[in-house]
A = this chain, B = another copy of it.
Amino acid sequence: MNYAEMMLAMGVRAKRAARGMAKMPSGDKERALRLMADAIENARGDLKVANAKDLEEAERTGLSASMVDRLTLSDAVIDSMAQGLREVAAQADPVGEVVKMWKRPNGLMIGKKRIPLGVIGIIYESRPNVTADAAALCLKSGNAVILRGGKEAIHSNRAIAKVLVEAAARGGVPEGALQVVDVIERDAVVEMLKLEEYIDLIIPRGGEGLIRFVTANSRVPVIKHYKGVCHVFIDESADHDMAEAIAVNAKTHRTGVCNAMETLLVHAGVADALLPRLANALMDKGVELRGCERTVALVDQAIPATEEDWDAEYLDLILAVRVVDDIDAAIDHIDRWTSLHTESIVTSDYANSQRFLNEVNSSTVMVNASTRFADGQQFGLGAEIGISTTKLHSYGPMGAEDLTTTKYIVYGQGQIRE
């Protein structure tokens, strides 16, 4: 097959459809998303049959248990896809909002009005439910979308796509606004990444390898989310109960997620009194501690940390721990090792709370809260298309609004330049 021609044809269709999507009334988009949710529920049997083929293949090729887990379309996952579509349907439409407007001395009224980006490409791995989530957010924000899932989920993705595309068409979504790349070869991705005239944004969702491949090969702008090495800094003035609750929650509430804490920093002034207590609470939950010299001196069971530990995204019941002299040393450590995802300070000191919020420039900076809240849903953005750790366009959890841009609108009364 000629992948260049195939992808170009998809790009041309998507760009044509994007014009219709940009004009689609909010109520019509909402209705189409609800039809898509119903269709997913009604196709439960077919989706499971298709998914079984992928699971068989996964067993044959010896895919890891966690990959198989993410690949499986259980009833709960199918329910959550339908639920996600309905939640996005119910959200406010970002398109058309006038973000601000002002008047110039010559009487011109200048405004910034929200419009869709155009065509969005999503490249993802393993989890076939991303197909529904990503489709929902892209269509809600008035964009056309080209989805490209992993080869391990090709049968599931095809089945979900078929259901969604049919329901979208019944709901009046323009032909071509929702397309799924139906081949498993990576060459198709390479061709997709060349379509700078047709695709406005590429979002890769998956492991670091996928993201680096996409970034290295794309002429289309890419929004990346590499990894989350989230820090919690326990300041000298921290409330001890709060410090324990937040440290335990940030590390153990869920470990395989990017907003879990990976490094705990403790102010030297409170380390003697508090660190053994924090360590015990964490070890009670099965956490292995890897500490700096001062940590190891205070906590017998802690293993000496190496430099790699400060950079590690464990995604597991392991935690790096470091005692720091003061808030400056904490901010320096974060500045050196941050993944620009999420950092939190636990403190009772007003000035330090403000310094942390002002001087730490990760995409989410918190005071007295668990890093686990760094999430589009938890922030109230509705569903989330990913968490950007690069600063351009969007930084932090991205919702439907982040899939739009603004154009300038100008109301005149015949003004000309003198």
* Interface residues, chain A, with chain B CB atoms under 8 Å away: 19, 22-23, 96, 102, 104, 108, 110, 113, 115, 117-118, 200-201, 215-216, 219, 221, 239, 242, 245-246, 249-250, 253, 335, 344, 357-359, 361-370, 372-374, 378-380, 390-397, 405-417
Contact = CB atoms under 8 A, between A and B. Distances in A.
Nearest to A104: B380
Given A22-B361, A369-B414, A396 B391 contact: no
B405 A392 contact: yes
B249 A409 contact: no
A373 B417 contact: yes
B118 A410 contact: no
A410 B358 contact: no
A210 B94 CA distance: 35
A370 to B, nearest CB: 5
Nearest to A359: B23
Contact of A405 (B23, B357, B391, B417): B391
A239 to B, nearest CB: 7
B219 A249 contact: no
Kindly list the 3 A-B residue pairs having the minimum CB-CB distance in the complex, ordered from nearest: A369-B412, A249-B416, A366-B410
Contacts of A365: 407-410
Contacts of A369: 108, 410-412, 414-416
A395 B405 contact: yes
B370 A396 contact: no
B408 A363 contact: yes
A84 B396 CA distance: 34
Contacts of A405: 391-395
Given A364-B409, A396-B408, A397-B408, 5 more contacts: A242-B414, A362-B407, A366-B410, A368-B415, A395-B408
Given A380-B110, A397-B408, A407-B364, A221 B416 contact: no
A399 to B, nearest CB: 12
A407 B396 contact: yes
Given A361-B407, A407-B361, A370 B23 contact: no
